[in-house]
Amino acid sequence: MRGKKILYVASNMQHINNFHLDYIKALRDAGAAVVVMARGEGADIDIPFEKKLLSPKNREARRLIGQALSTGDYDAVILNTSLAAFHVRLAMRKKKRPRVLNIVHGYLFSKNVNPIKARLLLLAERVTRGKCDEIIVMNREDLEIADRYRLAGKVTPSRGMGASVREVITPVDNIRREYFPEGSFVMCFVGELSPRKNQEFLLYALRRIKAEIPKAMLCLVGDGTERERLLQLAERLGVTESVVLVGNRTDACDFMRASDLYVSASSIEGMPFNIIEALGASRTVLASRIKGHEDIITDGVDGYLYEFGNIEDFVNKALHIYRNGALNPAALAEKYEKYSKESVFPETLRLIEEFCKG
């Protein structure tokens, strides 16, 4: 790796900070010069990516990317996030360019996505596939997509970037006492408040569950554009007193530990950290049957899956868990170990290093 110059790209520094710092450090420790390109504080090259793929403002982002590529003399480019991957490849000259690795954290075209949006996102990948040498994917469905549409010369499956459940910051008893009435049955979800995470579904399900479990509570950890709309929906459904939104928290894993059931209604995922962390926190998981979730959870063994969008299926399984108790902690621990940072990091780092060595 010594002497290699690598451009490491994502659409924002939050993504880099959440998933990639250890990988960047390892590459640098091996002698590579790694330059981080993203939007936000901490980036070596701060690019003003706009979140909408085809926003006219991304023209300026592409101009700056092109300038950086023409002067950087990079041996390899490592792409993360669909937005950044598209615009970097679009800005790249086809004939004289560095080798490109696209780490796919989850293609955003799936059966649960708006079909027009899905076609647009797939088109973006197909238009720029000539500027991608290798792809690393994190679930079976994305592997099939990349192979079917020949999105790179080489496609490699992986177990993701690895996740680790964090040490206790706030004791469980303190969280239960401060946020939930005594005797509550607490369902928890950690993630951005967004349409893709589909917290709206959980509010409708909560209303149904409360008919059987009056002390059922839903705790949402995270923030995002949907916050106010979710609060308004909770009021319309009459469950405001049973919903707790705590915002972004450094002790998110402690809220998992303080819950009775970890839930997810996401419409699309890649290799979801939150599910892995919940398993590491010894929480039984009830998640939508979608890619990413299906790759981690074996239904009825180390978690439960329900049909996406099916409230009756979700409610029935939540009631089953309430009445029959949590799953065997040993099964949860075994699955957590398979996807933990300790297990996954050496494998994924090897794939990245092998690509960079050429």
- pLDDT tens-digit series, residues 318-327: 999 999 998 9
Q: Which CATH superfamily is domain 172-339 in?
A: Glycogen Phosphorylase B; (3.40.50.2000)
pLDDT computed for residue 112 by the predictor:
78
Query: What is the per-residue pLDDT across 242-258, written as a single tens digit (0 to 9) for each?
Result: 999 999 999 999 999 99
* Confidence band for 113, pLDDT divided at 50, 70 and 90: confident
pLDDT computed for residue 274 by the predictor:
96
Mean local confidence (pLDDT), 73-89:
97
Mean local confidence (pLDDT), 154-172:
96
pLDDT computed for residue 195 by the predictor:
94
**Hey, where are the domains in the chain?**
5-161+342-357, 172-339
* Confidence band for 1, pLDDT divided at 50, 70 and 90: confident
What one-character DSSP code corresponds to residue 53? T
With pLDDT > 90 as the criterion, what percentage of the chain qualifies? 93
**109: pLDDT strictly greater than 90:** no
What is the residue-averaged pLDDT of the chain? 96
So what CATH class is 5-161+342-357? alpha beta
**117: pLDDT strictly greater than 90:** no
pLDDT computed for residue 95 by the predictor:
77
**110: pLDDT strictly greater than 90:** no
Q: Where are the alpha helices (DSSP H) in the chain?
A: 13-19, 21-29, 58-72, 82-91, 115-127, 140-148, 172-179, 199-210, 227-237, 252-257, 273-280, 293-296, 311-324, 329-339, 341-357
**56: pLDDT strictly greater than 90:** yes
Mean local confidence (pLDDT), 292-309:
97
CA dihedral 269→274→279→283, nearest 10 degrees, is -110
* Confidence band for 278, pLDDT divided at 50, 70 and 90: very high
Structure tokens at 280: 């590491």
Mean local confidence (pLDDT), 208-237:
97
* Confidence band for 115, pLDDT divided at 50, 70 and 90: confident
**84: pLDDT strictly greater than 90:** yes
Are the folds of 5-161+342-357 and 172-339 the same? yes
Does 246 or 114 have the greater pLDDT score?
246
pLDDT computed for residue 340 by the predictor:
97
Instruction: Give 322's contacts (C-beta < 8 A, 6+ positions apart).
Output: 185, 212, 213, 260, 261
Q: In what order do the strands lie in the sheet with 99-103?
A: 45-46, 33-38, 5-9, 76-80, 99-103, 134-137, 154-157
Mean local confidence (pLDDT), 231-240:
98
- Per mean pLDDT, which range of 8-22, 106-120, 212-226, 302-316 is the poorest? 106-120
pLDDT computed for residue 358 by the predictor:
80
pLDDT computed for residue 147 by the predictor:
96
